[in-house]
């Protein structure tokens, strides 16, 4: 049975006498750090001296330090760097400065799950993972609400690891919404699967395929863009707000019937077999090895694919049409 923790299940006193280092004062880092500070906890920022993130931390009223200095000063070290940087920075700057009883915290389990970070046995290893971007984590906290989080304990040296992790989750506002217990393995594998199969990989390929099908059949690219891409946000927003039935109840009967009777022809048994293959690559570590080697090589495949994506006709048509809709511009 799933365990969900709320405000009454967490006590900030578990961290009230601790120093928390946020390693990486970026989108997620600044949000978590500022929320913790506003919750009355002692926070320091760890980043590259003089960097934009360093200056932002100082502007936020948080003391900024090098990663090594912050690791020495902190009791709870929350690593919020991109996955591909965490292993090296941990080995070079954090590991030499760890002390018994420290807490190593994460918001994604990749480096623990795939052994890029192997902590000593005398520290706690925990995860608090907000299910939303940093701006949302910060904004909802300021509104007196919060973003749901995941919590996991990989290593409990102190016997108090979960208590500290839940205190951290409360400090960033997560327990206001609810904190679901998981494991590093479950969080990592499901997160990668979602990114690859539907949230990022699957949805962009579906959009491009639909767009190309209409254009190749002779329809105007502008009309194809609206039908294959632009209107997707309207559908996703309805599902996000109220589930599938909220969406089905807010589209036409024609759209509902057509979607329900034809959708399974697009996501079919062959699609599901590929999903299982992708999951197997994630579970076995095959994808992790591929991504780690790609990162070490300077990201040649990633950069090449980005170039190809940027040159797809849907990007050119989309840019022209979005220019007609200034309200879409990011504020």
**Do residues 80 and 29 touch, judged by C-beta distance below 8 A?**
yes
Q: HEC states along 166-229? A: HHHHHHCCHHHHCEEECCHHHHHHHHHHHHHHHHCHHHHHHHHHHHHHHHHCCCCHHHHHHHHH
Alpha carbon separation from 215 to 204, 220, 230, 286 (Å, rounded): 16, 6, 15, 36
CA atoms of 97 and 60, how far apart (whole Å): 26
Catalytic residue among 30, 108, 157, 230: 108
The distance between the two most distant Cα atoms of the chain, rounded to a whole number of Å, is: 67
| 149 DSSP β-pair partners | 130, 179
In this prediction, residue 100 has a pLDDT band, given cuts at 50, 70 and 90, of very high
Mean of pLDDT over the chain: 96
Residue 83, annotated ligand binder?
Answer: no
CA atoms of 233 and 238, how far apart (whole Å): 9
Please state, as a whole number, how many other Cβ atoms lie within 10 Å of the Cβ of residue 46. 32
In this prediction, residue 330 has a pLDDT band, given cuts at 50, 70 and 90, of low
Query: How far from the centroid of its chain's Cα atoms is residue 284's Cα?
Result: 21
Q: What is the pTM of this model?
A: 0.93
Mean pLDDT of the 66-90 span: 97
Residue 191, annotated ligand binder?
Answer: yes
Q: Which residues contact 208 (CB under 8 A, 6 or more apart)?
A: 312, 314
Domain annotation for the chain: domains and CATH numbers:
4-182 (3.40.50.720), 195-324 (no CATH)
State residue 174's pLDDT score.
98
Sheet of strand 149-155: strand arrangement: 4-5, 179-181, 149-155, 124-130, 103-106, 76-79, 19-23, 42-46, 63-65
State residue 64's pLDDT score.
95
Dihedral (Cα; 288, 291, 297, 299), 10-degree rounding: -170
pLDDT digits (tens, 9 = 90+) for 266-289: 999 999 999 999 999 999 999 999
How many residues are recorded in the chain?
Answer: 331
State residue 1's pLDDT score.
85
108 is catalytic: yes
State residue 331's pLDDT score.
53
pLDDT digits (tens, 9 = 90+) for 217-265: 999 999 999 999 999 999 999 999 999 999 999 999 999 999 999 999 9
Q: Tell me the helix, strand and coil percentages in the chain, rounded to 5.
A: 60, 10, 25
User: Picking from 50-64, 68-82, 146-160, 165-179, which range would have the lowest pLDDT averaged per residue?
Assistant: 50-64
Residue 134, annotated ligand binder?
Answer: yes
Q: HEC states along 245-280? A: HHHHCCCCHHHHHHHHHHHHHHCCHHHHHHHHHHHH
State residue 329's pLDDT score.
78
How large is the C-alpha radius of gyration of the chain? 22
**Do residues 222 and 314 touch, judged by C-beta distance below 8 A?**
no
Residue 75, annotated ligand binder?
Answer: no
For residue 190, give both structure tokens.
Answer: 């499901």
Q: Which residues contact 139 (CB under 8 A, 6 or more apart)?
A: none
Residue corresponding to tokens 């389990």: 109
In this prediction, residue 318 has a pLDDT band, given cuts at 50, 70 and 90, of very high
Residue 294, annotated ligand binder?
Answer: no
Sign of the torsion angle spanned by Cα atoms 246, 252, 256, 257: positive
């Amino acid at each position: 049975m799933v365990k969900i923790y709320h405000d009454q299940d967490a006590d900030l006193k578990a961290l009230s006498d601790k120093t928390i280092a946020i390693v990486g004062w970026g989108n997620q880092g600044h949000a978590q750090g500022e929320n913790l500070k506003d919750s009355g906890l002692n926070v320091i920022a760890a980043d590259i001296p003089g960097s934009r993130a360093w200056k932002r931390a100082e502007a936020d009223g948080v003391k900024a330090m090098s990663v090594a200095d912050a690791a020495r000063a902190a009791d709870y070290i929350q690593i919020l760097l991109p996955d591909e940087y965490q292993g090296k920075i941990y080995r070079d700057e954090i590991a030499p400065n760890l002390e018994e009883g420290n807490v190593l915290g994460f918001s994604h389990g990749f480096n623990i799950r795939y052994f890029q970070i192997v902590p000593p046995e005398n520290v706690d290893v925990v995860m608090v993972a907000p299910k939303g971007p940093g701006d949302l984590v910060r904004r909802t906290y300021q509104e007196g609400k919060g973003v749901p989080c995941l919590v996991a304990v990989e290593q409990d040296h102190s016997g108090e690891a979960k208590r500290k992790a839940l205190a951290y989750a409360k400090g960033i506002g997560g327990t206001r919404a609810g904190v679901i217990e998981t494991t590093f393995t479950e969080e990592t594998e499901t997160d990668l699967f979602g990114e690859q199969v539907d949230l990022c990989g699957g949805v962009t390929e579906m959009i491009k395929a639909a767009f190309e099908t209409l254009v190749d059949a002779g329809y105007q690219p502008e009309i194809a863009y609206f039908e294959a891409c632009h209107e997707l946000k309207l559908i996703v927003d309805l599902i996000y707000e109220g589930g599938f039935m909220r969406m089905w109840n807010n589209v036409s009967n024609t759209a509902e019937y057509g979607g329900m009777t034809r959708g399974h022809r697009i996501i079919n048994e062959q699609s599901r077999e590929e999903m299982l293959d992708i999951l197997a690559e994630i579970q076995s570590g095959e994808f992790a090895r591929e991504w780690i080697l790609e990162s070490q090589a300077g990201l040649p495949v990633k950069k090449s694919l980005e170039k190809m994506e940027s040159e797809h006709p849907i990007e050119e048509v989309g840019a022209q049409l979005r220019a007609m809709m200034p309200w879409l511009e990011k504020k």
